[in-house]
Structure 1
Amino acid sequence: MNPEPLQRGNLSSPTSFLLLGFSTVYKAQVSLCMGFSLIYLVTLLGNLLVMTLVWLDAYLQSPMYYFLGHLSFLDICYSSVTLPKILRDSFSPQKTISLVGCITQIYFFLCFGGSECVLLAAMAYDRYLAICRPLHYTALMSKKICRCLVAASWLSGSFSSLIQALLTAHLRFCGSTVINHLFCEIPFLLEVSCSPHTLLNKAVSYALAATIAVGSFLLTLSSYVRILQAVLQRGAGRQKAFATCTSHLTVVSLFFGTGAVTYLIPQSSSSKEMNKILALLYAIVTPMLNPIIYSLRNNEFQGAIRKALCRGITELPQRQINLCRHHAAGDPA
């Protein structure tokens, strides 16, 4: 679709935006669509597997796995905000999104992203209590406290995203309504806005982002600093316990690192394609990698997967035998 018609005129309330995405070459679009479809499928299956195992397996009922189950649910929601639209745009000649659709996408993207930030901080706090205060761990991380931490993550993400979405809804767009990105994000909408309140919107957005993302990152960092101090001071007994943190550290580094590069580095025309690649990492690839990272580095989780597979293999022949017996009993011959 030619972007020129969307660039002309003096529109204070545009009805739609044009998302440029990646390449417009058909072969490249086919490859991208296949790649995104595979990523989405792995994301759904991997995170659903984690949720199912945490729900069913009696050995995965500790607070760490309780948080992991909620993280997997958040990852499914987080990737579902953007990936289905990107997949549809891969073959669509009109890669447009309505103003209402854009604001809705911003709200849910920030809601799930902010909630994940706070939840990752809660998971780091859980590891700190388990390693540094093992005698008081059960009392300090009870089921009630776990539920409160999960609820706090959802409430903080929802409140922050609601304010930013409402401010975005009042922006004006007088010239171009072309967004050189894969999906709607506030920094890229502010670039094409001519609203007199753009600076205020930017200040509020970055203040809320600092409160949620930077605050969560600092809480996570402080938890791991104390964990590292305890491991160094008290020897090998806690080094094994620290090994359970490596998966979480990897996830935190991927999520916060790519997001920080996108939002903190000044935007320029030469970095547009790089911004899209970084957006893919923190919005699409990270939710796919999370269950893989946790399952590869966690012996209990691997054991739960093997047990589920063995149970399915042993139960299938028995079901077939019972089915044959049922048919034989019902056969009048």
Structure 2
Amino acid sequence: MFVLSILTACASGEEEAKGNKEVNIGYFPNLTHIATIVALENDYFTEAFGTDVKVNTKTVNNGGLFMEAMATKAIDVGTVGPGPLLNFYVKDPNYHIISGAVNGGAVLVASEHSEITDLADLDGKKVAIPVIGSTQDVMLRKALQDVGLKPTINGGTVELVAAAPADTTTLFIQKSVDASATQEPWGYILETQAKGKLLLDWETFAWGKESTNTVVAASKQFLEDEDLSKAYLTAHVKAVDFIKENPNESQELVIKHIKGLTGKEINKEELQVAFERLEVTTEVNEGVIQEMADISKEAGYVTSNDINGMVQLEKLNSLEGK
């Protein structure tokens, strides 16, 4: 975690009343969180919140950890997949989607040893997912439904294996799994470094280009703070517009940012190909989100598929003039 701006201690009561606010922004260190990364690198959050607000960041590796951090107020707002968010929402309706961030950006890759050539061949196979209940888990279940298959934990024949995306290359090489439902750039890395075969690309996996992969999530408390929530969305929209207008520079910012966090430099070619497999957007496909809730209920992840009120786009729409 690092601090983007530091709240200066104020001696006067008037200045103290104005300040003393903090915002904790959460995100993943990967390409599907490019809007948050670009907003950080270009100081859009600092600019939008102003000097009276201290901005902290927290990175996590999966949606479950993100939502747990939000539940403990370690994260107020940030980018996450809709799957983990809706899993928490049906238990406690204090978490909301306030904008889209990325559509697509997820693929299904088969390992070289598996001899899988189509979806039906997943029968009896092991498929890696980032974490149980993740957005890619739900997308895989959608794809399996289309060919009459389901996971073993629901009486089916396809075994789900939870594994961090960064570990799937090793799993492919060790022949520990037969396929992987994953986000970019890990899908392309499986192709180039583990001889994986793209079984379903981002345009055909689950809901294709309509698949809402990453959204902006906010706690109810954060959303109800008019100034803070509008400031965040202002920075987010500015980042989305910048990425659309400057794709190459945006990719360079992702490489720089992730190297700063992890010490590892992403291959430029891999990132460029992966970038072409997603759409950066503020749009939210509520029909897809509802289908995700339906699938999550069927999987037993949630007891209800009633997510009425989870999507709150009023502030975003007012900023975009809708």
The structure with the largest helix share of the pair is 1
The structure with the largest strand share of the pair is 2
Flag the structure with larger Rg. Answer: 1
